[in-house]
């Protein structure tokens, strides 16, 4: 009586939707196996893959806490044992904690007498994400669970909307070999923002979503720009500006920080993807940073 689920990595914010917009990146992800056990509660049997030194106490582990909140809330008369296989590097800005929480609740859901909806699973996965980052944001959880480009409005009763993306669009991800803590990258952010930047960013978010819905690549190019968060965070990533310039020079529609970083993403059309990826990797190398890079469709 066991089930395995895969949950993809995700790009939080997508430059213009801080904490509310994200998209999945199916090429990499985490895998969790849930097994029904007689002993009540949650037990973490193993953690493997790219990251092994994560907490084994369910309350301190993102997948553990997500499934534990499910077991408690549903008052299950059995327990669940988890095996976690990490495919997403830690502290990379690729939504690794969200992916483990999502894979955990999806696998556990298969063991329930009556399965839950994705929206119900989202709420349990959020309990896991909270353990990792100390804050409630859904821009990684929602796309990792639903797939594609996802906008989430509201926290207590979230409305989750999947946004269509023009089929020629690809995402290039470049992960420099360094880590950043989401917590620290949130703490440096200013609490007050200049009104003109709020207006500019609102226009960009509206323009970006409209461009996606209407398949207007020119509008996406015009609006895929973060004028509020990226200017504050880019100092945390050596070579960021050079990497972004390289991506734009090779035809990217836009380039920014994935989630809290240090991974950098670029949106582009399929024919330019390889050249953009190589240019971004070379730009990080000039700052003595080795990196891994991937290209994916937006499904
Ligand atoms: N929206 C969050 C942030 C995502 O940028 O802090 C973290 O992955």
The verdict on whether residue 246 carries a ligand-binding annotation is no
- Is the predicted pLDDT of residue 92 greater than 90, yes or no? yes
Q: What is the pLDDT of residue 53?
A: 84
Averaged over 97-107, what is the pLDDT? 97
Q: Are 79 and 39 within 8 A, CB to CB?
A: yes
Instruction: Measure Cα distances from 13 to 51, 111, 114 in Å.
Output: 24, 33, 33
- Give distance in angstroms: CA of 247 to centre of ligand 1: 22
- Give distance in angstroms: CA of 113 to centre of ligand 1: 34
Helix (H) or strand (E) holding 201, with range, is helix 195-214
From the CB of 13, is ligand 1 less than 6 Å away?
Answer: yes
- Give distance in angstroms: CA of 69 to centre of ligand 1: 22
- Give distance in angstroms: CA of 263 to centre of ligand 1: 12
Helix (H) or strand (E) holding 31, with range, is strand 21-37
> What b-and-e string marks burial along 126-136, b requiring 16 or more CB atoms within 10 Å of the CB?
bbbbbbbbeee
Helix (H) or strand (E) holding 22, with range, is strand 21-37
Sign of CA pseudo-dihedral 130, 131, 135, 138:
negative
* Minimum CA distance residue for ligand 1 atom 4: 259
From the CB of 260, is ligand 1 less than 6 Å away?
Answer: yes
From the CB of 58, is ligand 1 less than 6 Å away?
Answer: no
From the CB of 92, is ligand 1 less than 6 Å away?
Answer: no
The verdict on whether residue 119 carries a ligand-binding annotation is no
Least confidently predicted of 100-109, 126-135, 185-194: 126-135
Global ipTM: 0.97
Q: What is the pLDDT of residue 182?
A: 87
pLDDT tens digits for 122-160? 999 999 988 877 777 899 999 999 999 999 998 888 899
- Give distance in angstroms: CA of 99 to centre of ligand 1: 14
Averaged over 192-219, what is the pLDDT? 98
pTM above 0.90, yes or no: yes
pLDDT tens digits for 10-39? 999 999 999 999 999 999 999 999 999 999
């Amino acid at each position: 009586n066991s089930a395995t689920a895969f949950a993809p990595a995700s790009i939080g914010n997508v430059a213009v939707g801080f904490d509310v917009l994200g998209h999945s990146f199916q090429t990499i992800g985490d895998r969790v196996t849930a097994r029904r056990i007689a002993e009540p509660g949650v037990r973490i049997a193993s953690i493997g893959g790219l990251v092994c030194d994560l907490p084994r106490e369910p309350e301190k582990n993102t997948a553990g806490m997500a499934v534990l909140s499910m077991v408690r809330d549903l008052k299950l008369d059995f327990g669940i044992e988890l095996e976690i296989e990490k495919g997403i590097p830690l502290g990379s800005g690729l939504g690794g904690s969200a992916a483990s929480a999502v894979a955990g609740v999806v696998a556990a859901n298969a063991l329930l007498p009556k399965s839950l909806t994705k929206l119900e699973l989202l709420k349990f996965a959020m309990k896991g994400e909270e353990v990792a980052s100390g804050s409630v944001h859904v821009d990684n959880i929602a796309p990792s669970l639903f797939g594609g480009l996802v906008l989430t409005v509201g926290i207590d009763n979230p409305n989750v909307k999947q946004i269509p993306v023009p089929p020629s669009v690809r995402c290039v991800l470049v992960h420099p070999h360094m880590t950043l803590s989401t917590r620290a990258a949130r703490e440096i952010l200013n609490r007050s923002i200049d009104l003109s930047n709020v207006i500019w960013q609102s226009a960009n978010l509206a323009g970006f979503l409209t461009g996606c819905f209407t398949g207007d690549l020119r509008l996406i190019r015009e609006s895929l720009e973060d004028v509020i968060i990226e200017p504050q965070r880019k100092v945390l990533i050596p070579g960021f500006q050079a990497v972004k310039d390289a991506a734009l020079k090779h035809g990217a529609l836009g380039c920014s920080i994935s989630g809290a970083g240090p991974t950098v993403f670029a949106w582009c059309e399929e024919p330019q993807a390889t050249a953009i990826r190589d240019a971004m990797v070379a730009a990080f190398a000039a700052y003595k940073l080795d990196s891994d890079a991937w290209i994916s469709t937006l499904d």
